[in-house]
Amino acid sequence: MLIRRAEGRDAGRLTRLVRSSRAYEGRYASMVEGYRVGPDYIEAHRVFVAVEEIPGDEGPGERVLGFYSLMVEPAELDLMFVSDQAQGYGIGRRLVEHMRGEARRAGLDGVRVVSHPPAEGFYLSVGARPVGTVPANPPAVMWDRPELVFPVVPMVPGVLGADSGAGE
């Protein structure tokens, strides 16, 4: 697996990943209905994609395993998705480690995430700390959402492990 900066050509695959996520079935379906991750979004933000190389007759291709988008001002994890088929293999954990490294390089001391309710347990398991609840905002969002923060340990020059560069 490789984590790389997303490019405009990834937009369609990222959009399909969001729209097809089983985490957004049933009562949550309205959140991703018509959602689009466009080339303009990818260009404007720090979007990183986890890919797996797939051999092919015309050269290798890639399969998208997941992605995230880090906003720097204000510091927030805007999007994070792992494909349904890739869940349970540590992809999400690797994406979070990568995101923390990016946040560290950007000089951030924490990254806020307003979680999809079913994803809260995952975020807690990878080090996010609960800080509150964002109330429902009908008609856009019909349910309360957990608010968490990922602490980001600053880089200390000369200290081994201060910047692991995980996933790069």
The Cα–Cα gap between 142 and 146 comes to 13
Split at pLDDT 50, 70, 90, the class of 91 is very high
Q: What is the per-residue pLDDT across 100-157, written as a single tens digit (0 to 9) for each?
A: 999 999 999 999 999 999 999 999 999 999 999 999 999 888 999 999 999 998 776 6
**Rounded to whole angstroms, how far apart are CA atoms 8 and 103?**
22
**Whole-Å CA distances, 138 to 35, 122, 133, 141:** 17, 26, 15, 5
pLDDT of residue 58: 81
Average pLDDT over residues 44-73: 93
Q: What is the DSSP letter of 141?
A: B
- Per-residue pLDDT tens over the stretch 26-36: 989 988 989 99
Give the DSSP H or E segment for 133: strand 129-134
Residue in 96, 86, 44, 34 with CA at minimum distance from that of residue 64: 86
What mean pLDDT, rounded, does the chain reach? 92
Whole-model pTM: value is 0.88
CB 75 within 8 A of CB 111: yes
What confidence tens digit (pLDDT) does each residue in 11-31 have?
Answer: 999 999 999 999 999 989 988
Q: Rounded to an integer, what distance in angstroms lies between the CA atom of residue 114 and that of residue 145? A: 6
Q: Is pLDDT at 165 greater than 90 in this prediction?
A: no
